[in-house]
Structures are given as C-alpha cells and as structure tokens.
C-alpha cells in the first residue's frame, strides 16, 4: 500500500524567501505526482503535477521529481503572504482512481 | 467551468446518531470521492465511485456507508457518529482519463 510522507510539518518564511517542501513515496511504480494547496477553510486545489523525472516550472513554482530516490518536491520562489496555506502532496500508483495524500505542510509567509 | 456543492456546510449530531452528508457536481465527471480531513491534516479516502451505482471502499470505510444513485451526486452516511470522527469531510470528482481531482468546500462534522 502506497505511503506518502511530507516534511516539514510546518514552516515559517519571510516574504521574498525561497520555500522548499518535500515529499517521499513508497511505491516505485508510481506514475503521477501532484501538489495541492488548501487555503484556510477552503477546498484543496491542484497546483502542479509531474509524470517523469526532472523539473517543471510554472511561474514562481517548480516541481522536481526523482523517482530513484522516491522523492519529489515543490519550490516556491519569492514567497508571498498569499502563499500561506496547507500544501498537500499526492502520488498515484495503479489505477487512476486512488491518489494517496501526505499529511501536509503548513506554510506561513510573513510580511 | 463546474462546481461541487456539499451540504450541509456544518453538521452537528449526537453520539450514536446516523448522519448523512451530500455532494453534487455539475462537471459531468465519472468518478467521485469522499475524504476525511482531521484538523489541519492530510486526506484519507473513505469511499469512491467510478460510475453511477458503483461503490469502492477506501482505507477508512469502516463506520461509513455511501450511495451513488445518480452520476451527479454522491452521499456519505456516518452510521453511528463518534466523537473521535469530528473532522471535515471533503467530496471530490475526477473526469475519466484525467488524474486531477476537483474538491468541494467540505462539511464540518461536530459530534456532541
């Protein structure tokens, strides 16, 4: 059964800093890796996803995947107070039907 | 664009009570999900359904029943509410062939 773990549990960074969030997964056959963001009291929303080893950049956000080390990460450049949220990583193995989520990293960006 | 609606937004029940949460989506998505989110934590899958009248158990199905009578709606029943299952219950849907899930705003359950 897939296990997904996130680190750190929580993080406080100053505005403008680079933020790095980490996720490890247990199933080496996993095919799809995603980050979701959940602002307080709101629905989780997909932020970025990646399928193959390497990096993908969208604006201030970069996702990095290393399947050999069972690790993927999210990097936020020039962090803003509006980035403050719970960040959930997720990995998919087997059918499309079941995403396994990590426990989340709570990010606070202080002005 | 579409939307997922969850009702009620807040649900208060007594210990041992049977409680039902409802979810509607107008995306016309095939697959729907129910997750439980304990305070500030990640999501645990309770049930999912890949089509009308289909039900598949997730990792946390004990103590819950689900129903998918129409493509657009998915209900979750807490069979006997317990104080240790106070949480936010999130409904999600996913179109066939895609991996991204779209979430509703959640129902917050309080058990007295």
A26 part of contact set with chain B, CB < 8 Å:
no
Quote the minimal CA–CA distance from B17 to chain A in Å.
26
pLDDT digits (tens, 9 = 90+) for B80-102: 999 988 999 999 999 888 889 99
Enclosing H/E stretch for B46: strand B43-49
- Asked if the model's pLDDT at residue A96 lies above 80, the reply is no
The Cα A45–Cα A25 span in angstroms is 20
Chain A residue with the nearest C-alpha to that of B35: A101
The mean pLDDT of chain B is 94
CB B14 within 8 A of CB B81: yes
- Asked if the model's pLDDT at residue A67 lies above 90, the reply is yes
**Which residues of chain A does B30 touch, with a Cβ-Cβ cutoff of 8 Å?**
none
pLDDT for position A80: 98
The mean pLDDT of chain A is 95
pLDDT digits (tens, 9 = 90+) for A2-22: 899 999 999 999 999 999 999
B16 part of contact set with chain A, CB < 8 Å:
no
Does the N-terminal peptide bond of residue B19 adopt cis geometry, omega within 30 degrees of 0? no
**DSSP calls for A17-39:** --EEEEEEES-TT--EEEEEEE-
Exposure of A19 in the CB half-sphere (CA atoms within 13 A): 28
The Cα B106–Cα B112 span in angstroms is 19
pLDDT for position A97: 77
Q: How many CB atoms lie within 10 A of CB A54?
A: 11
- Asked if the model's pLDDT at residue A94 lies above 80, the reply is no
pLDDT for position B85: 85
Exposure of A109 in the CB half-sphere (CA atoms within 13 A): 19
Over the range B42-81, which residues count as b (16 or more CB within 10 Å of their CB) and which as e?
Answer: bbbbbbbbbeeeeebebebbeebebbbeebbbbbbebeeb
CB contact under 8 A, A42 and B105: yes
pLDDT for position A19: 98
pLDDT for position B96: 85
Q: Which of B42, B94, B105 sits opposite A43 (nearest CB)?
A: B105
Residues paired with residue A63 on neighbouring β-strands, in sequence order: A56, A74
CB contact under 8 A, A98 and B58: yes
The Cα A35–Cα A50 span in angstroms is 9
Q: Which of A36-40, A91-95, B19-23 has the lowest mean pLDDT?
A: A91-95
**Which residues of chain B does A97 touch, with a Cβ-Cβ cutoff of 8 Å?**
31, 48, 50, 56
Give me the residues of chain B with pLDDT under 70, please.
none
Task: Give which of A23, A22, A7 is closest to A99, Cα–Cα.
Answer: A23
pLDDT average, residue stretch A86-109: 91
pLDDT for position A38: 94
Burial of A55 (0-12, 13-18, 19+ CB in 10 A): exposed
């Amino acid at each position: 059964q897939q296990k997904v773990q996130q680190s750190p549990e929580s993080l406080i960074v100053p505005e403008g800093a680079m933020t790095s969030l980490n996720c490890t997964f247990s199933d080496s056959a996993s095919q799809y890796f995603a980050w979701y963001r959940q602002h307080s009291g709101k629905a989780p929303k997909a932020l970025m996803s990646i399928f193959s080893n390497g990096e993908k950049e969208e604006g201030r956000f970069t996702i990095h995947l290393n399947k050999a080390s069972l690790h993927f990460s999210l990097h936020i450049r020039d962090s803003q107070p509006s980035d403050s949220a719970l960040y959930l990583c997720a990995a998919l193995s087997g059918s499309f039907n079941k995403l396994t989520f990590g426990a989340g990293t709570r990010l606070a960006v202080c002005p | 664009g579409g939307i997922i609606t969850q009702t009620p937004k807040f649900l208060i029940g007594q210990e041992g009570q049977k409680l039902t949460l409802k979810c509607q989506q107008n995306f016309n998505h095939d697959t729907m999900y129910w997750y439980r989110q304990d305070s500030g934590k990640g999501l645990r899958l309770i049930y999912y359904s890949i089509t009308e009248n289909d039900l598949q158990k997730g990792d946390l199905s004990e103590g819950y029943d689900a129903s998918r009578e129409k493509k657009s709606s998915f209900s979750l029943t807490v069979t006997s509410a317990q104080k240790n299952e106070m949480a936010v219950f999130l409904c999600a849907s996913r179109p066939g062939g895609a991996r991204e899930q779209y979430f509703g705003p959640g129902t917050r359950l309080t058990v007295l």
